[in-house]
Amino acid sequence: MDAISWGFIGTVVGAIVGATASIVTTAITTWNTYKISENSKVQDREERARSFQRETLLELQIVMRNYMRASTLVYFADRKNFQESGEWGKYALPDELTEQLLDLNSETSILIQRISNDELRNNLIELKDVVTKSQLANSERTASQYHEACVTLYENVNNELGKVLRCSY
């Protein structure tokens, strides 16, 4: 073959190799851009989930404190009525306290269900169950035992809630 043929073949092969390299470079760049975009979306979703959990945990801390306070007020009101009448839980609580307790009970239930940490959620449910048993107790002794259990459980759950909250930052 003569030099012109070799020159032509070299030019064609060079063009093909150059075009292929350009196409491959564009494909790699596009793929990398896609992966970066997907990673960014995943990270954004994870951050929104962490933020939601943080906000829920912060709100739950306040609601649980108010719920425990209202529950303690119910216990003290029942104790006072018991000292005056000798009968436990037979007298109606003030309407304001009853309404507050019902609202806090509902709000607490809703917030507990939003918690993604299974162990914390289960411990909160256990605490809430003991609080309810304390409020529904039919004797001073039983109510006192449940109330003491509530205080201990609340301290433990509140510590655990704080740990989970700190890990979410």
Q: What integer best gives the mean pLDDT of the chain?
A: 89
Band of the pLDDT at 148, cuts 50, 70, 90?
Answer: very high
Percent of the chain with pLDDT over 70: 96
User: For residues 96 and 80, what is the distance between their CA atoms, to the nearest angstrom?
Assistant: 17
11 or 121, which is more confident:
121
How does pLDDT run across 66-81, given as a tens digit for each residue? 999 999 999 999 999 8
Residue 1: is its pLDDT beyond 70? no
Residue 9: is its pLDDT beyond 90? no
Task: Please compute the mean of the pLDDT values over residues 26-53 and round it to a whole number.
Answer: 87
pTM of the entire structure?
A: 0.76
- Asked if residue 162 lies in contact with residue 123, where contact means CB atoms within 8 angstroms, the answer is no
Band of the pLDDT at 38, cuts 50, 70, 90?
Answer: confident
SS3 of 168, please? coil
Closest CA to 130 of 111, 107, 110, 156: 156
